[in-house]
Structures are given as structure tokens and as C-alpha cells.
């Protein structure tokens, strides 16, 4: 049987921190991807919009009178144009520099340039970046019927354009980041509120469980007043043992706060099975006969089965599973000679091992019809003698360091 099936957060660490980081990562990725796409689209759109400003140049070179003068006049309004070329639809050069991008060497000789040229020949605006030189803009010259009869090529110094684009890109990036931060704040706020509600619900569930455990464990106390005091003291001993055990490197990771809480809460249920034992046996004034002793030992099975059935009614793991392992196995022995299943060593659930030692100490200190009460010193000696046979050696070592607290608990919680 697994030692650690109990109610707890299934995510290690602080769930609020983990999910806030998850939200932050999701928002960051979304923001970055959105920003990159927007910046890219915006850059292309901005360049194309800018290039369209030159479109009127094509209307001045259709062969009309004074077209060259008009072309030059319009061109003078664009101081960033460094070089100009004109081609016919067949590709013949009407005007072109001998070198540079517009000479047919460089950008216009590469695939991108050819694609832009082909686009211009189909009546579309062509744009080709010319690294270290500027921006090549190809403007189709259209007839009144819409046919392409030539192309105007411009080489523009795009330094200022790039600065404008960079400013717009930074503005867009800042805007997208701001939206991302606001989105994160909104999602985090929603998650924080949901987490707080979940914690409230979990706290209510825990308190409800604690009350149910108290009510169930009280059943034994109603039949035997000494059993009631025994249950309360055993719970207190259990807490002391667990806190001492948690300081051990061997158990530090196993005994988290939730598991400790589950064991402490469930400890009073270790004798819940006694509600199924006949009064003639449970309240007998004297030593039990072998048959009666065997019947008494059945309280471990009865209690375990009762709590297992209750746990199985729930669609999720709960503290009842820890309580079931305690009720069934708190009379197992480290050497395997215990009952009801004869488990040995670490196959005995840790919760049951802890409660077993606490249970035995209190039984030794208490007066029973068939025995006198032992002193604290004698109880400590007997438990130490059971190291490695009846009890987990690690638990006995911890007990040796905290046994004075056991004495204090017994003296302050003893019911006369």
C-alpha cells in the first residue's frame, strides 16, 4: 500500500506562483508573436504606402508634350531620390544610370528584383531593398486603357524612411507590450480571485473533515471514557513525533505540511474499529481470553474497512486514506510479527508506524483492568527495547529526543 495517498496540492511549490508564471509566459509569447507580426506587416504597409506617393510620376512619361519637363518638375519634389531610370514594357532602357541598382546590376539582377520587375510589368508597384544604397521603387507606366507600356525606376535614400518606420515600430511594440501587461494583470486578477475562492473552499472542506473525524473518534470515547482521553493524548504524541521526524533529512521531503496535518488529524481514528467490538470484550474487567483477544484484534480490520469504504465514496484521494492506513496497521510490528496483515519494515505505512509508537506509550502509562500503569521511565525503556523489533528504529531515535514532551502531555491531559 502506498504510504502517501492523502489530500494535498498535487502541484509542487506555490500554485499561485506557478500559474502566474505560466500566465506571464503565455502572455509574453502571445505579445511577442503579435508584436513581430504587426511590426512586419506595418513595415511592409508603410513602405508600400510611401512608395505609392511616387505613382503620379508614371503619368508624366506617356509621351505627351512637355512630359520630360513635368517628370523632372515632379521629381524635384522628392529630394530623397538619388537615381532614376525608365524602361519600356519590352525592357529597353529609355533612361538608366550605368552603375547602381537601377543599371540592372545589383538588386534588379537578383530574384527579388526580377520578381518586382515582373510585378511592375503586370501593373503592380514593385519594391526592392538595396542594402547600403537605399530602396528601389518600380512604378508601372499605364495607358488610358490600363496596359503597361513602361516602368519608372527610382533609387531612394531610405535613411529618413527607416527612422520613421523604426519610430512607428517602437510605438507599436510599446503599445503591444502595454496591452500584454494589462492582459496579464487582468488574467492574474481573475486567477487570484479564483485561487482565493478555491482556498476558502479547501479550508471549509478541511474544517468539515476535522469535525467529522472528531465526531467519529468520539464514538469510541462514548463507550469508554479512558479511550477518549487516550485518543486525545495519542494525537498530541503523534504531532510531537512528526515534528521531530521532519527534522531528519531522511523524512524531510516525505513529511510535508499537508501530510503531517493529515496524520495528526487522522490519529484519533486509529481505534474507530472498536465501535464494532462487543461491550463484553471491550469493557471486560480482566485479561482477555485467547478468543476474546482475537476478536479485539479485529478492531483494526473493522476500522480499516469502515474508513476505506468512506474513502471510496469520494471521487478523489482524501485524508480518509491516511486514516484507513492508520486504523488498519497501527498494530503492525517492524519485524513483521504484528497484525492484521503481518507487514514488516517500511512496508508498514509511515503514518501507522508513528501512531503505533504513540499508542503504545500511552497504553503503557495508563491503568487497565488487567495491568497497572507504568512510569514514564519504564515506558521509555520498553519502547527503546522495542527498537528494530516492534518499532521503526528511526522513530525510536526521534522519540528518545522528545520523550520529555510525552511525559508533559500525559500529565497535562490525563483524565482521572
190-200 pLDDT per residue, tens: 878 887 888 88
pLDDT, average across residues 210-223: 73
Among 3-17, 172-186, 294-308, 312-326, top mean pLDDT goes to 294-308
32-66 pLDDT per residue, tens: 888 788 777 777 777 777 777 776 666 666 555 44
pTM of the model: 0.59
- Residue 8 confidence (pLDDT) above 50: no
Domains and CATH numbers, the chain: 224-412 (1.10.3210.10)
Calculate what percentage of the chain has a pLDDT beyond 70. Answer: 83
| Residue that wins the pLDDT comparison between 72 and 278 | 278
pLDDT, average across residues 151-166: 80
Confidence at residue 270, expressed as pLDDT on a 0 to 100 scale: 92
- Residue 166 confidence (pLDDT) above 50: yes
Confidence label for 7 from pLDDT (cuts 50, 70 and 90)? very low
- Residue 391 confidence (pLDDT) above 80: yes
Three-state secondary structure readout of the chain = CCCCCCCCCCCCCCHHHHHHHHHHHHHHHHHHHHHHHHHHHHHHHHHHHHHHHHHHHHHHCCCCCCHHHHHHHHHCCCCCEEEEEEEECCCCEEECCCCCHHHCCHHHHCHHHHHHHHHHHCCCCEEEEECCCEEEEEEEEECCCCCEEEEEEEEECCHHHHHHHHHHHHHHHHHHHHHHHHHHHHHHHHHHHHHHHHHHHHHHHHHHHHHHHHHHHHHHHHHCHHHHHHHHHHHHHHHHHHHHHHCCCCCCCCCCHHHHHHHHHHHHHHHHHHHHCCHHHHCCCCCCCHHHHHHHHCHHHHHHHHHHHHHHCCCCCCHHHHHHHHHHHCCCCCCCCCCCCCCCHHHCCHHHHHHHHHHHHHHHHCCECCECCCCHHHHHHHHHHCECCCECHHHHHHHHHHHHHHHHHHHHCCCC
Confidence at residue 401, expressed as pLDDT on a 0 to 100 scale: 95
pLDDT, average across residues 169-188: 82
Amino acid at each position: 500500500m502506498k504510504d502517501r495517498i492523502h489530500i494535498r496540492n498535487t502541484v509542487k511549490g506555490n500554485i499561485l506562483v506557478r500559474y502566474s508564471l505560466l500566465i506571464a509566459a503565455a502572455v509574453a509569447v502571445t505579445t511577442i508573436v503579435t508584436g513581430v507580426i504587426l511590426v512586419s506587416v506595418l513595415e511592409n504597409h508603410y513602405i508600400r504606402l510611401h512608395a505609392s506617393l511616387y505613382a503620379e510620376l508614371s503619368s508624366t512619361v506617356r509621351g505627351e508634350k512637355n512630359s520630360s519637363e513635368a517628370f523632372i518638375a515632379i521629381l524635384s519634389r522628392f529630394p530623397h531620390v538619388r537615381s532614376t531610370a525608365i524602361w519600356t514594357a519590352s525592357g529597353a532602357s529609355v533612361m538608366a544610370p550605368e552603375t547602381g541598382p537601377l543599371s540592372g546590376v545589383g538588386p534588379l539582377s537578383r530574384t527579388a528584383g526580377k520578381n518586382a520587375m515582373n510585378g511592375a510589368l503586370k501593373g503592380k508597384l514593385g519594391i526592392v531593398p538595396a542594402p547600403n544604397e537605399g530602396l528601389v521603387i518600380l512604378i508601372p507606366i499605364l495607358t488610358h486603357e490600363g496596359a503597361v507600356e513602361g516602368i519608372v525606376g527610382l533609387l531612394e535614400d531610405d535613411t529618413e524612411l527607416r527612422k520613421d518606420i523604426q519610430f512607428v515600430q517602437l510605438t507599436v511594440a510599446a503599445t503591444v507590450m502595454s496591452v500584454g501587461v494589462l492582459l496579464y494583470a487582468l488574467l492574474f486578477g481573475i486567477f487570484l480571485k479564483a485561487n482565493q475562492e478555491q482556498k476558502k473552499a479547501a479550508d471549509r472542506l478541511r474544517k468539515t473533515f476535522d469535525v467529522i473525524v472528531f465526531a467519529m473518534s468520539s464514538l469510541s470515547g462514548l463507550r469508554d471514557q479512558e479511550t477518549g482521553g487516550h485518543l486525545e493524548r495519542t494525537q498530541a504524541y503523534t504531532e510531537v513525533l512528526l515534528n521531530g521526524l521532519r527534522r531528519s533529512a531522511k523524512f524531510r521531503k516525505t513529511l510535508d505540511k499537508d501530510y503531517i496535518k493529515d496524520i495528526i488529524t487522522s490519529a484519533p481514528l486509529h481505534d474507530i474499529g472498536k465501535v464494532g467490538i462487543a461491550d463484553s470484550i471491550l469493557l471486560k474487567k480482566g485479561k482477555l481470553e485467547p478468543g476474546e483477544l482475537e476478536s479485539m484484534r479485529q478492531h483494526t480490520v473493522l476500522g480499516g474497512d469502515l474508513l476505506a469504504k468512506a474513502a471510496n465514496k469520494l471521487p478523489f484521494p482524501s485524508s480518509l486514506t491516511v486514516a484507513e492506513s492508520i486504523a488498519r496497521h497501527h498494530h503492525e510490528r517492524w519485524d513483521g510479527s504484528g497484525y492484521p496483515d503481518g507487514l514488516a519494515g517500511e512496508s508498514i505505512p509511515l503514518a501507522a508506524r508513528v501512531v503505533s509508537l504513540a499508542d503504545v506509550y500511552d497504553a503503557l502509562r495508563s491503568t487497565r483492568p488487567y495491568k497497572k500503569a507504568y512510569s514514564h521511565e519504564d515506558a521509555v525503556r520498553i519502547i527503546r527495547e522495542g527498537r528494530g523489533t516492534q518499532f521503526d528504529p528511526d522513530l525510536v531515535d526521534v522519540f528518545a529526543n522528545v520523550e520529555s514532551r510525552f511525559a508533559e502531555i500525559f500529565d497535562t491531559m490525563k483524565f482521572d
